[in-house]
């Protein structure tokens, strides 16, 4: 079995404690390799390396940093199919989706590289004569990045590329379910010319390596994508040292289907939104709120199509849906299927593990007669479980959509422009799609949500630079005399 190392200060090293863990293919339950279980000493080594590299990297002109990211983008492009296949083996997502995951990383590398010739501040007139005012962006310092399993290349790239172009140095802690793609990304960045100590990788358990990274006082910012409960802990713990914190913590995303919608298009979107990536997306469509006048027909068409979805190994290109990531997640989804039945929702499709093939597979599952306050309609399941909820009007549909703790993504299917703009205005979410499902974010636009989805920060787009820079305001007085701002401008 292959054994993989930590990447610390430009070297591939064993864990200081000599401990490893096994990574499993969720579709076959076969081992992929042994990975280092980073200790606190390893995390401290990584952070110290980043701190030592910061002065050199942060003073490298941004266009020069950009050249390295352009090279990384081209290397990712050259290895796209290879990386996609590795991802399907490690993560389980179907090959078509894995290719899309790699493409997101490529796109983000190119986009962030382009920011190397911008990193824009602003100028403003002074209220006093012979005085110039402007803002400039400064890197934060050592940044800790903690990423989940579901997009094992795209999400690390969403964080790494903007952090690097901004002049920060980083320590990445990927999910222990998908460390292999993070290792390949480190190799690519190193080969592209990222200098020693600028990027570091620690693999292992979140409660150990992740916690040590959050608590290290030399880490000046933490960017975390994961569960709400862990995010609350990260925010609380990082707050003790006044670190910058960026959180993306999930969703319970609604699709509203109005009676004037293109029904076949809506069914296509719901299938992709609910069962793409086996429902393991923070933007997955887990609730569909349907106008009561068309619910019966919509339900019939949806179930008819969902029955045809094929589960299996994502390397088989005829497969529509891969496995869940691990046994814990499989048990969680199974538990929620039982909760839905116990709450009085009617199970009209699925609801069980798939036992005739190895791996962590669960059937595409649809509940109807779901009340908005049921647990299956309120809590993030992170699996292929969909709730159908009836609404009498758009007003009621929006009220139901907004009734959950989260506010990441939302969608409405309608041919009525007024309905579309009312939904855009009133849905409590960071993202709204019109006549498209709740998934499909593009890297040049801000990504994030409201309420329990996070702490108000946004990733991607120009906001990615906001996440990883501090603004400094500069006043340049060339008057040759003491000027006292508001005191000197009083009438």
248 is catalytic: yes
CA-based nearest residue to 97, from 87, 106, 107: 87
Taken in order 406, 255, 387, 397, the sign of the CA dihedral is positive
Kindly give the interhelix angle for 417-426 and 394-401, rounded to the nearest 10 degrees: 30
**Dist CA 50 CA 12 (whole Å):** 15
Question: Do the Cβ atoms of 411 and 269 come closer than 8 Å?
Answer: yes
DSSP code, position 487: G
Q: For tokens 């990584």, what's the residue?
A: 46
Question: What is the rounded CA–CA span in Å between residue 289 and residue 287?
Answer: 6
Helix (H), strand (E), coil (C) string for 398-423: HHHHCCCCEECEEEEECCCHHHHHHH
Query: Coil, helix or strand for 224?
Result: strand
**Do residues 197 and 8 make contact, with C-beta atoms less than 8 angstroms apart?**
no
CA angle 172, 173, 179 (to 5 degrees): 105
Tokens representing residue 467 in the block = 């996440």
CA distance 397 to 9: 53
Cβ–Cβ < 8 Å for 26, 356: no
Q: Which residue out of 104, 282, 459, 467 is catalytically annotated?
A: 282
CB proximity list for 344: less than 8 A, separation 6 or greater = 369, 371, 374
Of residues 97, 115, 184, 248, which has the active-site annotation?
248
Task: Return the exposure string of 152-161: e unless at least 16 CB atoms fall within 10 Å of the residue's CB, then b.
Answer: bbbbbbbbbb
Closest-CA residue to 34 (of 24, 21, 16): 21
Alpha-carbon 123 to chain mean position = 33
Q: Is 133 one of the annotated active-site residues of the chain?
A: no
What DSSP assignment string belongs to 54-96? HHHHHTS-HHHHHHHHHHHHHHHHHTHHHHHHHHHHHH---HH
3-state DSSP call for residue 327?
helix
**Residue 421: alpha-carbon gap to chain centroid:** 27
Residues that are catalytic: 248, 282
């Amino acid at each position: 079995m292959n054994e993989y190392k930590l990447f610390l200060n430009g070297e591939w090293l064993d864990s200081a404690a000599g401990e490893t863990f096994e990574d499993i293919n969720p579709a076959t339950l076969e081992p992929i390799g042994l990975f280092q279980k980073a200790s606190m000493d390893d995390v401290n080594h990584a952070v110290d390396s980043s701190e030592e590299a910061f002065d050199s990297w942060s003073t490298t002109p941004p266009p020069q940093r950009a050249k390295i990211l352009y090279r990384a983008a081209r290397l990712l492009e050259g290895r796209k199919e290879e990386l996609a296949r590795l991802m399907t083996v490690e993560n389980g997502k179907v090959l078509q989706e894995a290719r899309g995951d790699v493409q997101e990383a490529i796109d983000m590398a190119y986009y962030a590289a382009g920011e190397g010739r911008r990193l824009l501040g602003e100028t403003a007139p002074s209220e006093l004569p012979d005085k110039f005012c402007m803002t400039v962006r400064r890197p934060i310092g050592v940044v800790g990045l903690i990423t989940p399993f579901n997009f094992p290349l795209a999400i690390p790239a969403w964080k790494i590329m903007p952090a690097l172009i901004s002049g920060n140095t980083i320590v990445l802690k990927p999910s222990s379910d998908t460390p292999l793609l993070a290792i390949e990304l480190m190799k690519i960045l190193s080969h592209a010319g990222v200098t020693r100590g600028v990027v570091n990788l620690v693999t292992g358990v979140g409660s150990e390596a992740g916690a040590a990274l959050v608590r290290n006082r030399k880490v000046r910012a933490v960017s975390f994508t994961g569960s709400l409960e862990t995010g609350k802990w990260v925010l609380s713990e990082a707050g003790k040292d006044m670190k910058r914190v960026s959180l993306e913590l999930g969703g319970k995303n609604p699709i509203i289907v109005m009676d004037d919608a293109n029904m076949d298009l809506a069914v296509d979107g719901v299938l992709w939104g609910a069962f793409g990536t086996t429902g393991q997306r923070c933007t997955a469509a887990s609730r569909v709120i349907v106008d009561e006048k068309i619910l019966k027909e919509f339900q019939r068409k949806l179930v008819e199509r969902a029955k045809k979805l094929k589960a299996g190994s994502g390397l088989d290109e005829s497969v529509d849906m891969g496995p869940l990531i691990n046994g814990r997640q499989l048990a969680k989804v199974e538990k929620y299927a039982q909760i839905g039945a116990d709450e009085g929702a009617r199970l009209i499709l699925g609801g069980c593990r798939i036992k005739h093939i190895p791996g962590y597979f669960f059937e595409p599952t649809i509940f109807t007669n779901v009340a908005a306050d049921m647990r299956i309609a309120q809590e993030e399941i992170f699996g292929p479980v969909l709730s159908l909820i009836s609404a009498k009007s758009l007003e009621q549909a929006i009220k139901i959509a907004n009734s959950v703790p989260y506010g990441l993504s939302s969608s409405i299917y309608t041919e009525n422009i007024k309905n579309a703009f009312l939904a855009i205005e009133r849905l409590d979410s960071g993202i709204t799609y019109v006549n498209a499902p709740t998934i499909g974010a593009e890297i040049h636009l801000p990504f994030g949500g409201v309420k329990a989805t996070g702490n108000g920060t946004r990733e991607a787009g120009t906001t990615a630079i906001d996440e990883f820079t501090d603004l400094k305001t500069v006043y340049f007085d060339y008057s040759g005399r003491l000027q006292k701002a508001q005191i000197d401008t009083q009438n």
